[in-house]
Chains A and B, each alone.
Chain A
């Protein structure tokens, strides 16, 4: 049986009159890649900051168990943190910054330097180790930020929006890195918007909206729960008439993407004959495709029905 390394129980937090978190609970096991998903303002970053004691919760319990004993707070050396609000010393050489950030987390300086150079080498930035961060492109600065969060080989890494600002190639690269550090034993708590990337690597998911839990379980379970849903996508080549979509009364969800794609979600009991008949009556030129709901579809469905 896997060890539970983080247990969160009935966590609540208010900012003045705004309920940022309302009684949320979850637990993460050793070796998990735990996806923490929600729209902007859902309470994701607030939760992460409470976990790290950057801000205080109004209510609830947090229990870390990274070394076989339960603690309210983890040790700095056990945790890696990539904050949503990125920032590093722009006017200081990259290597020096990395070594400092690893050393305040308890890593030996010589080891930190060696490890930093290895990571820089892998990311193609070894020759720029002595340059100041400000001369790097934004994408490369993101890479340095990522290295800073995992350089000290943490047992548990919290990555808040690790893919934001990266191009598709670098997003794939980061997925590989996350997989790699996870395979080496680091448990990951991943907060991100890019569902298609998250579902490639996460084994557990927690969906949050307006500070409340929407779903908490394994990735396989969430697909299983929603496998009876059907998604029909209409790819319009001509102008889209949104009014005509009102005929699909049996659709549980209708999503229009960029005024050219319509996603219709139907439940298990929907009558396919009626659906097809309605589709045939739709005006305009469009292609039709169907697929099982992916994480993005499930997420939107749950948020809409919350």
Chain B
């Protein structure tokens, strides 16, 4: 049985062990139901939680404040001698608010500060502007002109850093985090589980540790990629539904799906997930007891590197962003993100991808070496210096 055939057999086995379309569908339905429940439930809860306030105004002699507030609040004038009684009554009339205008200052009395009070304050700002405007003798149009931003006409040669591309780059990073989390879970379960069930000896008597490691890395990577594709399709569907609700054209979603960026992301993502699976497999190989191992926390290491890729969006042309898009532990996410939002030379793409490929090749070899020696260690967990010796073994 040749190497390729053995790898295909192991890959198919690992893939079928972990990628369950039925479970995936159930998970998606549960996620949709939960999202719906959170959205509508939250909306309902927030709408019901704060009752509308009733605003009483004192000393609004020319009625300007009442005029500004009446479209958004229930407003009522308060008689002069009623102020003290009103303030005493706030303990019972908790939704009442008093605004007393005194020498250009507005005194506010309410039972407690809440969202409606904040909303009320924005209208008080408008009132303040109008009063100041009247003092200066400015018209409403003149004030609007003063407050408006500078009028500019922008022309760029590179037009790729649009907000749509930025959203797409965030989406890439999100998908990588998803794939890394899945790889973490499956690789950890697969290898530590097999060690605990003592299956390894039987398997490596039939195939070499390198074949088993390669098959495992490939199978679990494909599981992660399958989930990435499933969730991507779900998000596209969600986007289509969202645009329908907002009255935009369904085709608006296409503005976000920049096909060259996606075409670049796929190979980078594939090799990136393979690299992380090789690293996770190597770490899982030296863990003998997943419940008590100090090395288990290392399995979270990939997430740190994937999250670091978000720094690219702050300034895709900075030295840090360029480094992240070349460094093999971050480039799988950072390079497609940079490419989506700025100009990246083709030689950079090729160079970064070759480094990524080379890193994967070396890491899978190291992972298999560690796995080969750790395979029969079911008692004492090897120390880092012992792991280093495993790597150096011929």
Contact = CB atoms under 8 A, between A and B. Distances in A.
A104 B198 contact: no
Interface residues of B, number: 21
A87 B1 contact: no
A306 B107 CA distance: 104
B6 A88 contact: no
Contacts of B13: 100
30 contacts: A49-B201, A52-B205, A54-B204, A76-B206, A77-B1, A79-B206, A81-B205, A83-B201, A83-B205, A85-B198, A85-B201, A86-B198, A87-B194, A87-B201, A88-B199, A88-B202, A89-B197, A89-B199, A92-B17, A100-B9, A100-B13, A101-B206, A104-B6, A104-B9, A104-B10, A104-B203, A104-B206, A104-B207, A105-B206, A149-B202
Nearest to B211: A104
Interface string B175-209: 00000000000000000001001111111111100
Interface in A17-45: none
Contacts of A101: 202-203, 206
Per CB-CB distance, the 3 closest pairs between chain A and chain B, nearest first, are: A87-B198, A106-B1, A81-B205
Given A79-B206, A104-B9, 10 more contacts: A52-B205, A81-B206, A83-B202, A90-B197, A101-B206, A104-B6, A104-B207, A105-B1, A148-B202, A149-B202
A77 B6 CA distance: 12
Interface in A40-78: 49, 52, 54-55, 75-77
Interface residues of A, number: 25
Nearest to B373: A55
Contacts of B376: 49, 54-55
B272 to A, nearest CB: 28
Contacts of A79: 205-206
A88 B17 contact: no
A86 B207 CA distance: 17
A257 B272 CA distance: 63
Contacts of A83: 198, 201-202, 205
Interface of B: 1, 6, 9-10, 13, 17, 194, 197-207, 375-376, 378
A103 interface: yes
A49 B376 CA distance: 10
A105 B10 CA distance: 11
Contacts of B201: 49, 54, 81, 83, 85, 87
Contacts of B10: 104
A75 B207 CA distance: 9
A30 to B, nearest CB: 21
Contacts of A86: 198
Given A81-B205, A100-B13, A101-B206, A76 B197 contact: no
Contacts of B200: 87
A284 to B, nearest CB: 45
A20 B364 CA distance: 31
Nearest to B1: A106
B192 to A, nearest CB: 13
B198 to A, nearest CB: 3
B207 A87 contact: no
